[in-house]
Structure 1
Amino acid sequence: MKILAIDTSTHVMGAALAEDDKLLGEYITNFKKNHSLRLMPAIDHLMNELEIEPKELDAIAVAKGPGSYTGVRIGVTTAKSMAWALNIPIYGISSLQMIAQNGKYFSGYICPFMDARRGQVYTGLYTSDNGCVTEVEQDRIIILEDWIDLLKEKQESVLFLSQEWDKHKESIQEKLSRQVVYGEFSDMLPKPSKLLEVVLNQGESISSHELVPEYTQLTEAEKNWLASNKGKKNDG
């Protein structure tokens, strides 16, 4: 079974391809540049290097969010379009669960997070059993200080995985002290190969029509629409 994995939910853009339980190739970049212009050439390059035709793919996996609204949309739209055109199933995996997979051998709690601005983070809490990462606190957007208070109540070690770790480490370490563990720089990076690991361990495929992005919060357009229509009666 050949599976293509795609991630564009942050500044990191990546694609990976596996056959059964063997990773055949992975392409990752980590800089701020338009994913919409670079994703398909990256996929094409990877598949050409591996001498695999699109018609040979059996499924596609994609990081479905949360993350950058534009980034998530690009990745999910590309994955859905390819899966529909090839008539193959798709796996939509939490972007946070993908990052949490980097800590799959940690014995305590695993906390991936992404900066969501205005003092907020996208985050969730996971544990791992023999390399299989499972969710214990649902993915959400939350004020970082409130999240830290929740973690403090756990009274157990927490492995933090995030590209924004340096931005928030002082406030986290100040409150959680000895509970804090953080990954090496490579552990902080989202990797499409980790999407494949999740799929192999516990993924359930769906049709391309069923997959929807997980933004975790309203888009700016939706917020503005709700604000402008607040208090108006439904004429229908």
Structure 2
Amino acid sequence: MILSIETSIHICSVALHDLEGNLLALHELHEQRKHAERLTLLVEAVLNTTQTKFSELKAIAVGSGAGSYTGLRIGVSTAKGLCTGLNIPLIGIPSLQAWSLSMIDLANDLENQALEKVEKEQKIKTKYLLCPLMDARRMEVFTAIFDTELNYILNDTALVIDEDSFGKQLSENKILFFGDNEEKLQKCKAVINNPNAIFISNKLPSAKEIGKLAIKKFNQQDFEDLAYFEPNYGKEFYTTAKQLPVTNY
């Protein structure tokens, strides 16, 4: 089994998957600045829910950023500590890529609907891309662009959003934008103001996607060096999402 941790934003998320990729448990806390005091409790809750022993874990996966300096530091330190104590490998997963995984089904559905219209009207097929917008204060975001195979179109970067942002990509594709701060997402929508830009609310990073991507890396024996692995901090930022209760699955 693989235990996964995601702490790149205000959410503290822990998941457990079996080696076939099935989600066994997910515990999340949607509350700011609670990672340090709650992360290990969530790990224990996930293991207790599934009656799993630490000795049964085969690897620990962790979101490697970009994102919150404090959140990533706590998540990665916890993951490395578990790996060292249990003598199991560490798997690093880019947080923006894992977040985009949660949007693939929607993008494929929209692309199929567009394809049906194309076939009727004999137009050029529209391609849908995925673009997470992680709040980095003011009008800056941590972002990247992926296709629906999770290949990078634009590598992880910090970007100040203005009316010219993503202009080339939007001229040729539809892009699904999604963010961790609803107010910031709506500001970006107003600034970008492009008919090919589709903004999706209420889609947040989760350890369940970290775990899904970790299965492939585990099978390929693609592990991190515990001594040298560091997250992609980008820059420290703060979130303003309201507090929500713990959600258990």
Measured against the shorter chain, the TM-score band is 0.7 to 0.9
**In the TM superposition, what are the counterparts of 1:23-38 in structure 2 within 5 Å?**
23-38=23-38
Partner of 1:193 in structure 2? 208
Which amino acid letter does the alignment assign opposite residue 166 of structure 1?
Answer: E
- 1:40 matched residue in structure 2: 40
Aligned to 2:177: 160
2:71 counterpart residue number:
71
- How far apart, CA to CA, are the structure 2 residues paired with 1:89 and 1:159? 34
Query: Hey, what's the Cα distance between the residues in 1 that align with 2:215 and 2:65?
Result: 19
User: Given the alignment of the two structures, is residue 183 of structure 1 paired with residue 200 of structure 2, yes or no?
Assistant: yes
- CA-CA distance at 1:37 after TM superposition: 0.5
Contact 2:4/2:16 (CA < 8 Å) preserved in 1?
yes
Q: Which has the higher contact order (CA 8 A, sep 6+)?
A: 2
* Counterpart amino acid of residue 135 in structure 1: Y
Matches of 1:174 and 1:141 in 2, distance apart? 17
Aligned residue in 1 for 2:151: 134
Whether 1:112 aligns to 2:112 is no
Q: Distance in 2 between matches of 1:157 and 1:215?
A: 29
> For the residues of structure 1 that align with 2:182 and 2:148, how far apart are their CA atoms?
21
What is the identity percentage for the equivalent residue pairs of Structure 1 and Structure 2? 28
Change (3 A) 1:182 1:168: closer
Conserved in 1, the CA contact under 8 Å of 2:91 and 2:217? no
8 Å Cα contact 1:98/1:195 also seen in 2: yes
Q: Which of 227, 230, 233 matches 1:212?
A: 230
With structure 2 as the length reference, what TM-score do the two structures score? 0.79
Partner amino acid, structure 2, of 1:216: G
Structure 1: 4+ residue segments shifted above 6 A: none
The amino acid that maps onto 1:158 is I
Conserved in 2, the CA contact under 8 Å of 1:152 and 1:176? no
| Counterpart in the other structure of 1:17 | 16
User: What amino acid maps onto 2:14 in structure 1?
Assistant: A
Q: Using the TM superposition, name which of 36-45 and 96-105 deviates more.
A: 96-105
Per residue, is there more helix in 1 or in 2?
A: 1
Q: 8 Å contact 1:99–1:112 — kept in the other structure?
A: yes
Aligned residues: 211
Question: Residue 3 of structure 1 contacts residue 59 of structure 1 at CA under 8 Å; is this kept in 2?
Answer: yes
Q: More deviation in 9-18 or 208-217?
A: 208-217
- Alpha carbons 2:179, 2:201 under 8 Å: kept: no
- Structure 1 counterpart SS, 2:205: coil
Contact 1:89 1:205 in 2 (8 A): yes
Match of 2:118 in 1: none
The answer to whether the 8 Å contact 2:179/2:185 transfers is no
TM-score normalized with structure 1 length: 0.83
Give the alignment's Cα RMSD to 1 decimal. Answer: 1.9
- Aligned partners of 1:11 and 1:31 also within 8 Å: yes
Structure 1 residue 61: Cα displacement: 0.4
AA of the residue aligned to 1:149: D
Q: What's the counterpart of residue 144 of structure 2?
A: 124
